[in-house]
Amino acid sequence: MGQTINGVLRRHGLILAFLVFLGGVALNADAFLTPGNILDVLRQVSITGMMALGVTFVVLTGRLDLSVGSLLTLLTVIVVDQHNIAGPFPAIVMTLLVGVAVGAFNGLLVGFVGLNALIVTLAMLSFLQGLVLFYSGGSNVNVANAQETWFGVFGRGDFLGLPVPVILFLVGAVIAGLVLQFTTFGRRVYGVGGNETASIFSGIDARWTVFWTYVVSGFTTGVAAVIMGSRVMGAQNTIGQGYELTVLAGVILGGTSLLGGSGSIWRTVIGISMLGFIQNGLLLLGFPYYVQWLVTWAVIIIAVWIDLGAKRGRIFA
Amino acid sequence: MDDVILKVEGITKTFPGVKALDNVSFDIRPGEVHALVGENGAGKSTLMKALAGLHKPDSGQIVYQGAPTEVTGPLDARQKGILLIHQELSLSPELSVAENIYLGAWPTNRFGVLKKRELRRNASKALEALGCGFGPDVRVGTLSVAMQQMVEIARAEAFSANVVIFDEPTASLTDTEKDQLFHTIRGLKARGVGIVYISHKMDEIFDITDRITVLRDGQVQGTVDTADTDLNQVTRMMIGRTLDTFFVKAKAEFGEEVLRVEELSKSGLFQDVSFSVREGEVLGLYGLVGAGRSEVVETVFGVRRADGGKIFWKGGDIALPTPRQSIDMGMALVPESRKEQGLVLMMGGRENTSLPHLSLFSELSVMNRPKELATFEKYRSALSIKTTGPDQAVSQLSGGNQQKFVLAKWLCADPKLIILDEPTRGIDVGSKSAIHELIADLAERGLAVIVISSEMPEVLGVSHRVLAMSEGAVVAEFEGDDMTEENLIDAVSHHRGEAAA
Ligand SMILES: Nc1ncnc2c1ncn2[C@@H]1O[C@H](COP(=O)(O)OP(=O)(O)OP(=O)(O)O)[C@@H](O)[C@H]1O
Ligand SMILES: [Mg+2]
């Protein structure tokens, strides 16, 4: 989409601040820039990143998906539990299908019924958390035959020296990026997000477009759950808690506008990776792990503020 | 120096890829109406935005009341007494009239609490001075465009403006509203306010202004006294040639009926509207703003739902089409409001042009970029659109050039019926006659054309047949020699009189 001077400046301002932060951490924590740590961060990022790919579609239409945190929990519980019951392959298929179904339901309520996206997905967040406890009966699940199954490949495997989850994320990002930039669906997403009325006047069915973005979001969360289950070889009832905001923070940190119509997948890849390194850096500096909540808060506020400021042409203008 | 209130000296303003203003000098005297004219994208709005503090010039200075002045923002400009009334109105629809008049400069007490009574009192005074028919407490969103404009003008009273700039103020006004506006402008003028008047309507320019400055590609071509010049000279300064003032009408050779509408109704908007249009025919829809013309065509196109009535496409009943179905059948609607309905502002011309026809510009859902670019280039030159490239966001284009992309996106798929809702709003004289020729050309190529216009000469000039609409009903139909201004005025005002009685 059109790169404005403003856009370039705000990107560079953020990236500059990020590089300064990286340098600071590297000087104070020797482990930070070791290949082992970097791969660790990327493994973590591959899960939030995979979810963020789908959420980017939703945000580009000017809507939100806050249900993905609980959805990740539910789907991880499902994939692990069904792995024990039905085996890895059926478990994965079922997980993806449930993800798509939940996305479709969100899409129905937001796209067709026209309910507010924030409320619909926030309510879904709560509903799914309840469903998790209902499904699991409150206990954690673990993969029974962890040593024998090939299921571990998605979260723990390596291929050509790269972790498999990172490869999955990058492949997903490339596909999502191509879809947004080069297909008619991508064009509709940008159209609806940029100006819904003008898109309707152009014969685009905004309802279906919105619907499909939620389906994509449900699907990518399903893939993320497979990686998560495979990595942990189990699932706690709170495993995805807070992920909805981390994912959103990554998307908007990359510069995709909450107002819709501008942003891209590569921005999301950058944003979510930056967030991963920030959180890891803080841990290595000795901050307790829960500062990541504060970081998410700060990132969201700053990113939204910059987004709004750039729209008004005040900050960095 | 005494008789100049504001002077612009050598202002230059560059945007990436365009020099919008190139060493422009220009002055405004108290009590004069100074016209600023030029083609779409000549730099008129940019110059005025520089005066109002919305753009910072790269070089040059503004001398205001004898002293070099820097205007830091719109509010600063207003407080200094320079008021810009935008090409696109800029009020907050949710706020009251009084709050809008003082937007951003609300009187508050020490604790930052709004002084409501003072706000109301001052606003009432300003409204009364202008003779507005509404009070300070009305929510702005409920007012008509003309009334909203009065709210903006009321700021001139409220801030005792010395300079008031009108950027295409009559683009969406009816003739009566225009007369009212001119009355207001003459009032301001008599009080010694210096006025800048930007318009593409030459009759207005010659009616109300004292001097005319012509801009072309960001440079001043010259300033002349209105009394000493004529249309031909000004046009030549603007576009380098003169224009024929007569309209070219398409040959009246009609084919099959393309669209027929029978007793279409939507409660509260229009009732029992019937008409039809044939291949090669240009049907005009005349009426005052608010007569329901746009609503009718939006319903035919499918973005609104009718309560009753029938729509036939080439003889077949197509009850309640969706916009997608309409487009695929070969219908095109150039909507009334380019910013809200016409364009995705952050997209470039290329993406906007292909937006209604994604399947034509793709194979297996993959966009065909070379085809998009070719179409973009074709219409860029055909409509002489000023843009730096296929991906320059259309939000950065001048108003008239945006309008041309709205036309391009609907022409590029060879429709069978094209509905043009105010197609020349905000378009310069040269391109305007180009669009009139285009309409004739489309009709001669066998398209059915429906033209909605509030400009009587335009609707009479291009159409073979004209329907007059008033208050949601078709009140008369004229053809051939009956198509006269008197008949049209008579039809719409007579009906109004009847309805009132
Ligand atoms: N914010 C912007 N960014 C980039 N280019 C701009 C911007 N604003 C205006 N321009 C460019 O500056 C030139 C002058 O535009 P301007 O809006 O002043 O034209 P105008 O004379 O008012 O035309 P119109 O009659 O169509 O309203 C155009 O080429 C336009 O594309
Ligand atoms: Mg303009």
Position A146 pLDDT exceeds 90: no
Q: Assess whether the C-beta atom of B46 lies below 6 angstroms from ligand 1.
A: yes
E-strand stretches of A219-305? 234-235
Closest Cα in chain B, distance from residue A181 (Å): 9
Q: What is the predicted pLDDT for the residue at A1?
A: 39
Q: Do B407 and B422 lie in a common domain? A: no
Confidence class of residue A314 from pLDDT cuts 50, 70 and 90?
very low
Q: Assess whether the C-beta atom of B348 lies below 6 angstroms from ligand 1.
A: no
DSSP, collapsed to helix, strand or coil, labels residue B59 as strand
Under 8 Å between Cβ of B171 and B432: no
Q: Which of B197, B220, B239 is at the close of a domain?
A: B239
**Torsional class of A272: left (φ above 0), alpha (ψ -120 to 50), beta (otherwise):** alpha
Which residue bears the tokens 């991963």? A276
Cβ burial, residue B160 (10 Å; 0-12/13-18/19+): exposed
Q: Do B311 and B343 lie in a common domain? A: no
Q: Do B37 and B131 lie in a common domain? A: yes
Under 8 Å between Cβ of B358 and A187: yes
Q: Is residue B439 part of a domain?
A: no
Q: Do B85 and B175 lie in a common domain? A: yes
Q: Assess whether the C-beta atom of B169 lies below 6 angstroms from ligand 1.
A: no
DSSP, collapsed to helix, strand or coil, labels residue A202 as coil
Q: Assess whether the C-beta atom of B44 lies below 6 angstroms from ligand 1.
A: yes
Q: Which of A217-226, A297-306, B233-242 has the lowest average pLDDT?
A: A297-306
Residue B154 to residues A142, B124, B134, Cα–Cα distance (Å): 72, 10, 12
When divided into structural domains, chain B yields a total of 3
Range of the domain at B497: 243-330+416-426+448-501
Q: Alpha-carbon distance B171 to B168, whole Å? A: 6
* Residues A129-143, mean pLDDT to the nearest whole number: 91
pLDDT in tens, A185-197: 999 999 999 999 9
Quote the pTM value.
0.87
The ligand whose atoms approach the alpha carbon of B86 most closely is 2
- B21: domain CATH number is 3.40.50.300
Q: Which amino acid is at A229?
A: G
pLDDT < 50 stretches in chain B: 1, 499-501
DSSP, collapsed to helix, strand or coil, labels residue A51 as helix
CB contact under 8 A, A194 and B345: yes
CA of B256 to the centre of ligand 2 (A): 41
Q: Is residue B1 part of a domain?
A: no
Percentage of residues in chain A with pLDDT exceeding 90? 70
pLDDT in tens, A55-73: 999 999 999 999 999 999 9
* Residues A151-168, mean pLDDT to the nearest whole number: 93
Which residues of chain B are within 8 Å of residue A61 when distances are taken between CB atoms?
none
* Residues A131-156, mean pLDDT to the nearest whole number: 90
Task: Name the residue in chain B with its Cα closest to that of A263.
Answer: B346
Q: Which of A143-157, A297-311, B336-350 has the lowest average pLDDT?
A: A297-311
Q: What is the predicted pLDDT for the residue at B64?
A: 93
Q: Do B220 and B258 lie in a common domain? A: no
Residue A112 to residues A120, A129, B361, B479, Cα–Cα distance (Å): 12, 25, 27, 45
Q: CA A68: distance to chain centroid?
A: 8
CB contact under 8 A, B365 and A194: no
CB contact under 8 A, B356 and A184: no
Q: Which carries the bigger pLDDT value, residue A13 or residue B314? A: B314
Q: ipTM, 2 decimals?
A: 0.88
Q: What is the predicted pLDDT for the residue at A313?
A: 42
Q: Do B177 and B196 lie in a common domain? A: yes
Q: Do B219 and B317 lie in a common domain? A: no
Closest CA to A219 of A158, A260, A168, A270: A168
Question: What is residue A108's DSSP assignment?
Answer: I
Q: What is the predicted pLDDT for the residue at A3?
A: 46
Q: Which helix (H) or strand (E) holds B311?
A: strand B308-313
Q: Which of B210, B239, B268 is at the close of a domain?
A: B239
Q: Assess whether the C-beta atom of B378 lies below 6 angstroms from ligand 1.
A: no
Q: What is the predicted pLDDT for the residue at A198?
A: 96
Q: Is residue B201 part of a domain?
A: yes
Instruction: Please name the residues in contact with B385: beta carbons below 8 A apart, sequence gap of 6 or more.
Output: B349, B379, B397, B401, B404, B405, B408
Q: Do B391 and B422 lie in a common domain? A: no
CA of B432 to the centre of ligand 2 (A): 15
Q: Do B113 and B64 lie in a common domain? A: yes
Q: What is the predicted pLDDT for the residue at A315?
A: 35
Domain boundaries, chain A: 46-265
**Structure tokens of A135?**
């499904």
Which residues of chain B are within 8 Å of residue A4 when distances are taken between CB atoms?
393
Q: Do B143 and B230 lie in a common domain? A: yes
Q: Which of B239, B266, B291 is at the close of a domain?
A: B239
Which residues of chain A are within 8 Å of residue B366 when distances are taken between CB atoms?
182-184
Q: Do B39 and B119 lie in a common domain? A: yes
Q: What is the predicted pLDDT for the residue at A161?
A: 87
Q: Is residue B436 part of a domain?
A: no
Q: What is the predicted pLDDT for the residue at B119?
A: 84
Position A199 pLDDT exceeds 90: yes
CA of B327 to the centre of ligand 2 (A): 31
Q: Do B304 and B356 lie in a common domain? A: no
Q: Is residue B63 part of a domain?
A: yes
Can you list the alpha helix ranges (DSSP code H) found in B191-269? 202-208, 231-239
Report the DSSP pairing between strands B448-453 and B417-421: parallel
CA of A43 to the centre of ligand 1 (A): 48
Q: Is residue B438 part of a domain?
A: no
